Amino acid sequence: MKKFLILMAVSGSVLVFNSCKKKLDAAPIADETKGKVYSVAELKAIASCTNGCSRRFSEGAYLIGVVIADEVSGNFYKEIYVRDRYNTGGIRLDMKASHCNFFIGDSVHLNLKGYDVNINSQTNMLEIDTIDFERNMVKFASGATPQPIVVDLDCDSYSNYLCDLVQLNKMQFITPNTIWADPIMQISGNNDIRSCGGTSVTVRTSNYAHFAQQLTPSGNGSIIGIATAYSGTDQMAIRNPNEVNMTGPLCGAIYHTKNFEDASLTSGGWSAQNVTGASTWSYSTFSGAKFAKASGYYSVTNNITESWLISPVVNLASSVNPVLTFMTAAKFSGIPLEVLVSTNYTSGLPGTATWTNVSGFNLSPNNPGSYAWTRSCKIILNLYKNANTRIAFRYQSTTSGATTYEVDDIVIREN
């Protein structure tokens, strides 16, 4: 009986213990619902703010995204790149120490409280500095496979993709078969790649990259990396050479190039033809860039003008897939610049020949406009595979509007 009582007492007390099982202490956790989740675009807006506005987050706020570049290959050090979950772009996260253990495909969030978001004055890249990743950053999932954004250098402005993961197609190294960087002399590598349209990007590689002593490929093809920049030069930092696939045939023939680097409007057979009003086409230069410029604004007013900038004959008779690319920069409202093609023009006023308007290309926005250099994209000239092909830019203005157009890097080449 006594034994039974004791057993009862013991099992009773066990029950008591179990029923008062104590809840584990909980170290604080943040409530993200009290903080806004920012997109990279929003962060960029904050960072670009110039009116003495604060770029520091004083309250809990978050960046949530996926890692698009990590430290594994050694090409990035004390930094990772993250694309936000709204897919508005990438950002460079500068870490207070190396080995943050966030890897490509990891989903992470960063508590922005106490951090500044900046546009780096040297690189123009959006970044957050000296992140205490141990304290403020969390990997909450992994295994994502963020895809690169395909950037067409004939069309797109590379700098719009800074800090994001991009893929460039039809690229080739200007000096192939060189090492990416020199770990012995401790020199980072700058290896330029060029699109068939002639746009180049510098592939910048750290001498600490594990692949530094491998050689750059000699073919043409695609390359994936983080879009970076330095002092106005477009750059790229690759994550791993196995994302560089340049084994295809090199760029085809270039039939014509006009880049105004010789400070001449008409060299190489170009001519300007005034149809109405004063001559509006001229050679011009601005902060190092050299280009052709057309403006119907003179004598302190807008004038009615029409003038053409006409190329020399370009023989496309034996071409396969000829394309035209160029760049424009514009300001002030007015009539958009036109691009035309002729196969029977010889000389004089354009009216002496048959011209066909081409369409489907990009022009720099002109209203209000801020001379933003804009790539045209490829204009296919398959209909004009003729020995006597010419292209022309037709500029027009009225008293109510005279856009200033700048034109540069005109290339006719095999696609």
Partner 1 sequence: MIKRILSLTALIFSISLSAQNDSTAVDSQKDSTNSSLNLPIFSTSGGDLDTDLEQQDVSSLLMSSRDVFTQFASFQFGAARYRMRGYMAENQMVMINGVNVNNLETGFSSWSSWGGLNDVTRFVENRFGNVANRMNFSGPGGYTNIESKASSFKKGTRVSYMSANRIFQHRGMITHSTGMLQNGWAITVSGSLRQGNAEKAPQMYAKGTYFNAYAFYASIDKRLNDKHLLSFTGFGAPIEQGRSGAATMEAFEVAGSNYYNDLWGYQNGKVRNSNISKTNRPMLMLTHVFTPSNDTKLSSTVYYNFGKSSLTSLNWNNAPNARPDYYKYLPSYFYMSGDTINGDITTNNWATDVNVRQINWDKLIAMNQANLYSEPGNINTTDTRARYILENKIESLQNYGFNSVFNKRKDKLFLSVGLNGNIYKDRKYKELVDLLGATFWIDVDQFAENLGVDSEFAQNNIDDPNRKVKEGEKFGYDYSVNINRGELWAQAEYNLKSVDYYIGFTVSDNQIWREGFVANGKFPTGSKGQSEKVNFFNYGLKGGLTYKISGRYYVTANGSYLTRTPEAANVFVSPRVRNDIVAGIKSENVLSGDLNFIIRYPGLKIRATYYYAQINNQTWLRTFWNDNYNNNVNLIMRGVNQTHQGVELGIEKTLFTSHVLQAAFGYGQFIYTNRPKMDAWQDNNNTSLYTDRTVYLKNYKVGGTPQMVTGLSYKYNGKKFWYAGLSFNYFDEIYIEPNPDRRTAEATEKYIMADREAYKLVTDQEQLPSYFTLNAQAGKSFRIKSKYYLRLNLTINNLLNNQKARTTGFEQLRWDMANLGTFDNKYYYMQGITYMAGINFSF
Footprint on this chain of partner 1 (rule: CB under 8 A): 2-3, 6-7, 9-10, 13-14, 17, 22-33, 62, 70, 72, 97, 100-105, 109, 111, 133-140
User: Which residue type is seen at 259?
Assistant: N
Shortest CB 227 distance to partner 1, Å: 22
Cβ contacts of residue 204 below 8 Å, gap of 6+?
188, 189, 190, 228, 230, 235, 236, 237
Q: Which of 350, 341, 325, 352 is nearest to 413 (CA)?
A: 325
For the bound state, the minimum distance from the C-beta of residue 206 to partner 1, rounded and expressed in Å, comes to 17
**93 neighbors 127 (Cβ within 8 angstroms):** yes
Distance, C-alpha 142 to centroid of its chain: 26
| Distance, CA of 272 to chain centre | 34
CA–CA distances in Å: residue 217 to residues 88, 180, 222, 251:
32, 10, 11, 14
Task: Rank residues 145 and 186 by Cβ distance to partner 1 and give the closer one.
Answer: 145
Which is nearest to 327 in space by CA: 368, 280, 291? Answer: 291
Q: Which residues contact 400 (CB under 8 A, 6 or more apart)?
A: 302
Q: Is 57 exposed, middle or buried (0-12, 13-18, 19+ CB in 10 A)?
A: buried
Cβ atoms of 376 and 325 closer than 8 Å: yes
Residues in CB range of 19: below 8 A, 6 or more apart: none
Least distance from partner 1 to the Cβ atom of residue 5, Å:
9
Return the number of the residue (17 or 77) whose C-beta is nearest partner 1. Answer: 17
Least Å distance between CB 36 and partner 1?
13
Q: How far is the CB of 241 from partner 1 (least distance, A)?
A: 14
Q: Which is nearer to partner 1, 151 or 224 (CB)?
A: 224
Minimum distance, C-beta of residue 55 to partner 1, in the bound complex (Å): 21
Rg over CA atoms, the chain:
30
| Alpha carbon distances (Å) from 130 to 53, 148, 359, 404 | 21, 26, 48, 44
Minimum CB separation from partner 1 for residue 381, in Å?
45
Select 114 or 232, whichever has its Cβ closest to partner 1.
Answer: 114
Select 96 or 194, whichever has its Cβ closest to partner 1: 96
Beta-carbon contacts of 22 under 8 Å, excluding residues fewer than 6 positions away, are none
Residue whose CB is less far from partner 1, 105 or 365: 105
Shortest Cβ 58–partner 1 spacing (Å): 16
- Nearest CB to partner 1, comparing residues 6 and 254: 6
Q: Which is nearer to partner 1, 83 or 378 (CB)?
A: 83
